[in-house]
Amino acid sequence: MSGRKSIKRFRVRRDSVAAARLHVRTTLTDWKLGGLIEDATLLTSELTTNVVNHTKGTGDYFELSLRRRDGVLALEVADSYQWRMPELQKPAPDALSGRGLFLVDALSENWGVRPRNPGKTVWAHLAINRVAQP
């Protein structure tokens, strides 16, 4: 079942984070990739929360893409916020936020950011064969 994809748009608002997680869970269940659900939903939560928290007033929607190809699940979140690209930073030990990209970095095989016009796409890859499929 290689070569599958799912693209869905969500409004930039807090309840869309939970809706995006549910979409990932449902899609990966349909694709028989249950072993990736927990990591993929956590990645989705981090990336979509960043959109909701940092892109106010820059667009009504963000787009979540899932692609299964060549043994990799690619998860992408695209928005229209173009003034600041996310960067992996080390937060202070007492900081209440700023650890999301550390989680993305730890859970994914690789990740990155690419500009688009307008905005950016943050992507993360999970190896499909790294866990046994239920």
Contact 77, 47 (CB under 8 A): yes
The pLDDT of residue 107 is above 80: yes
Task: Provide the CATH number for the domain around residue 91.
Answer: 3.30.565.10
- The range of the structural domain enclosing residue 17 comes to 4-130
96 confidence band (pLDDT: 50, 70, 90):
low
The pLDDT of residue 5 is above 70: yes
Torsional sign, CA 16, 22, 26, 32 = positive
CB atoms within 10 A of CB 105: 12
88 confidence band (pLDDT: 50, 70, 90):
low
DSSP H helical ranges for the chain: 15-30, 37-54, 100-107
122 confidence band (pLDDT: 50, 70, 90):
very high
Number of domains in the chain: 1
Contact 115, 105 (CB under 8 A): no
The pLDDT of residue 132 is above 60: no
